[in-house]
Each structure stands twice: as C-alpha cells, then as structure tokens.
C-alpha cells in the first residue's frame, strides 16, 4: 500500500514537472515572437532616413562649382 | 525628386587624389579598401586624361541584380546602398560591377572576406541617421546633415561634381559650352579668358 502511494506521488510529481515545462516552453515562444520585429524596424528606418536636402551648404557648393 | 549622381570632368581632373583621401578620412575606410580612386588613361603621354571613379549608383545596378541575399536597396534619391548585416561576402557584386566599386577587406591570409564595402554617396546605411552603429559600418551620413559627398566637396578644381543630377548636368554643360572642345580647351583663352571678355586697362596704349 505504501509502495503504491509512493508510486502515485512520484507520477504526480512527474506530471506536474511535465506540465510546468510545457508552460515554460510556451512562454519562451510567446516572448520569442516580438524579437522578429527589429528587422521590420530596420526596414522602416531605411525609409525614414532624411536623405538629400537642398540646404544653404549644398547651394553654396553648386555656386562654387559653376566657376 | 532629385537623383544623386557623380560626374567627373576629365578636362579639369589633375590627378591629385584629394577625393580619395577625403573619402578615406571622412568614412574611416579600412586598409585595403578604396571606395574611390583616380584612373589615368594614357599616363605619361601628352594629353593624358584622369577621372575619379567610385560607385556610379546605377539606375539598373548589376550588383543589385546578382546579389543572392538581396542586401542592396535604392533610396528615394537613387543612391544604391547595401545592408552589411545581410551581406554574406560571396563576392558576386565585385565581379558584376563594371567600375570595381564593391570591395572586400583583404585582412586575412586565408581568403577571409567579411562584408562587402562600397561608396555610399555619404548616405550611410539602414541604421538610424548619424548613429554610432551607422558610422562604424558605413561611414559618415553627410546627406542627412544637409551636405554632399566629401570627395566632391573637397575637389580643388571642381572636376568631380556630385549632387542632384539635373543641377550638375547643367553646370557641366555650361562648362563645355564655355571652353569649347579639342584644341580650343588649351591655350591663351583658357588661361586668360576669351578675347571679348577681356577689358583693356584704362590708359593703356593700343
């Protein structure tokens, strides 16, 4: 009888560990999804670059190049 | 929308390599890589011509077409840039480019290639404008600062023109019309101006 109880408790313990491990893995996967976003951020920053502006500095360069 | 272009005036280039030095200094280009270089045709022969060559930021860029990981992209101003995080260093772009613009650091003794490096028209890369990461990978982002590439701005004879393609094409056209072509380029009028522009000093004897 005592042996049976001990076996049952061991099984319950193993089940609990298994369920906890699955939940942990699910949490890790859920955290892993947002890590894919920095790539998208980089793509956005490509578009958001300020780029060429016809500033006073640039106009001055064009003026000197006409000489 | 302005399209960024380089144009080298072969009649003005004096092969000083100032553009090469300016590029190296501005972008802290590593040893073994020259994003820009001066090519001289018929060196040592009277009438030799020099032109400064770098990435021409082609409208239909061969490097873009051959890249197996598609790391090249074109900005709204027509500047061809690449993403060093995606580059696998295969060297296809090096073979595809007719100007020899993409180059690899030759640091290792056993063919280590690393990431391809090329002229960025001083427009940086995909990272945030003028960030430390951008400077470390691609060099200075002068375009975002309201400036033009350091090579073109540093050119002492203004042989190397860089900027809005329409504007520099007009500047070059004016130059070509003013100086003429062939033998007209050389001689008295080039050095001292056309006869109709010269004014006789007051009181001078004729």
Please answer yes or no on whether B77 and A52 come within 8 Å at the CB atom: yes
CATH number for B140: 3.30.70.20
Q: Which residue is closest to B158 within chain A, CA to CA?
A: A65
> Which two three-digit tokens encode residue B150?
């350091």
- pLDDT (mean) for B86-105: 90
pLDDT confidence band for A43 (50 / 70 / 90): very low
Report if residue B23 sits inside a domain: yes
Angle (CA) B53 B172 B184, round 5°:
100
Predicted local confidence at residue A4, as pLDDT: 65
Pairing of strands B37-41, B49-53: antiparallel
SS3 sequence of A14-48: HHHHHHHHHHHHHHHHHHHHHHHHHHHHHHHHHHH
Looking at the structure of chain B, the number of domains it has is: 1
Residue B88 has pLDDT above 50, yes or no: yes
Q: What are the two backbone dihedrals, phi and then psi, of residue B8, each rounded to the nearest 5 degrees?
A: -105, 125
Q: Which residues of B touch A62 (CB under 8 A)?
A: 163, 167-168, 171
Q: Which residue is closest to A61 within chain B, CA to CA?
A: B153
Predicted local confidence at residue A27, as pLDDT: 56
Residue A40 in contact with partner chain B when CB distance is under 8 A: no
Tell me which residue in B2, B73, B163 faces A46 most closely, judged by beta carbons. Answer: B73
Predicted local confidence at residue B104, as pLDDT: 82
pLDDT confidence band for B85 (50 / 70 / 90): very high
Report if residue B169 sits inside a domain: yes
Q: Which residue is closest to B171 within chain A, CA to CA?
A: A66
**When comparing pLDDT for A38 and B182, which is higher?**
B182
Are B74 and B157 in contact by the 8 Å Cβ rule? The answer is no
Tell me which residue in B126, B127, B129 faces A50 most closely, judged by beta carbons. Answer: B129
Report if residue B87 sits inside a domain: yes
CA distance to A14, B87, B187, per residue, from B144 (Å): 60, 24, 42
Cα separation, B35 vs B26, in Å, equals: 11
- pLDDT (mean) for B148-165: 95
Predicted local confidence at residue B158, as pLDDT: 94
Predicted local confidence at residue A32, as pLDDT: 47
Please answer yes or no on whether B144 and A67 come within 8 Å at the CB atom: no
Q: How high is the mean pLDDT of chain A? A: 67
Residue A57 in contact with partner chain B when CB distance is under 8 A: yes
pLDDT confidence band for B39 (50 / 70 / 90): very high
Predicted local confidence at residue B65, as pLDDT: 96
Residue B198 has pLDDT above 70, yes or no: no
What's the domain range around B130? 4-179
Q: How high is the mean pLDDT of chain B? A: 88
Predicted local confidence at residue A39, as pLDDT: 40
pLDDT confidence band for B190 (50 / 70 / 90): low
Report if residue B131 sits inside a domain: yes
pLDDT tens for residues B98-130? 998 998 876 655 556 678 999 999 999 999 999
Cα separation, B140 vs B121, in Å, equals: 9
CA distance to A58, B15, B52, B101, B206, per residue, from B150 (Å): 12, 17, 13, 17, 48
Predicted local confidence at residue A38, as pLDDT: 40
- pLDDT (mean) for B42-61: 93
ipTM of the shown complex: 0.84
Report if residue B185 sits inside a domain: no
Report if residue B191 sits inside a domain: no
Q: Which residues of B touch A38 (CB under 8 A)?
A: none
Report if residue B193 sits inside a domain: no
CA distance to A37, A66, B144, B178, B206, per residue, from B196 (Å): 67, 20, 44, 12, 16
Predicted local confidence at residue B188, as pLDDT: 66
In a 3-state reduction of DSSP, which class is residue B8? strand
- pLDDT (mean) for B136-160: 94
Report if residue B186 sits inside a domain: no
Residue A52 in contact with partner chain B when CB distance is under 8 A: yes
Tell me which residue in B83, B147, B171 faces A66 most closely, judged by beta carbons. Answer: B171
């Amino acid at each position: 009888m005592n042996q049976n109880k001990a076996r049952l408790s061991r099984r319950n313990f193993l089940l609990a560990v298994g369920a906890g491990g699955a939940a942990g893995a699910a949490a890790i996967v859920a955290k892993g999804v947002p890590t894919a976003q920095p790539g998208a951020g980089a793509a956005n920053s490509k578009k958001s670059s300020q780029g060429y502006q016809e500033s006073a500095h640039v106009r001055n360069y064009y003026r000197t190049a006409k000489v | 929308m302005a399209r960024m272009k380089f144009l080298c005036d072969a009649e003005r280039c004096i092969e000083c390599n100032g553009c090469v030095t300016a590029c190296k200094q501005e972008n802290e280009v590593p040893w073994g890589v020259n994003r820009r270089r001066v090519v001289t045709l018929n060196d040592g022969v009277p009438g030799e011509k020099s032109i400064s060559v770098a990435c021409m930021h082609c409208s239909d860029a061969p490097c873009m077409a051959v890249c197996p990981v598609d790391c090249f992209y074109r900005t709204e101003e027509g500047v061809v840039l690449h993403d060093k995080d995606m580059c696998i260093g295969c060297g296809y772009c090096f073979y595809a480019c007719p100007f020899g613009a993409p180059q690899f650091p030759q640091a290792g003794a056993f063919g280590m290639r690393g990431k391809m490096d090329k002229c960025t028209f001083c427009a940086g890369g995909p990272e945030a404008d003028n960030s430390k990461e951008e400077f470390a990978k691609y060099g200075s982002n002068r375009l975002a600062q309201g400036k033009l590439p350091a090579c073109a701005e540093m050119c002492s004879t203004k042989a190397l023109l860089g900027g809005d393609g329409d504007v520099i094409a007009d500047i070059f056209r004016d130059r070509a019309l003013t100086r003429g072509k062939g033998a007209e380029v050389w001689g008295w009028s080039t050095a001292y101006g056309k006869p109709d522009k010269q004014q006789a000093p007051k009181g001078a004897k004729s």
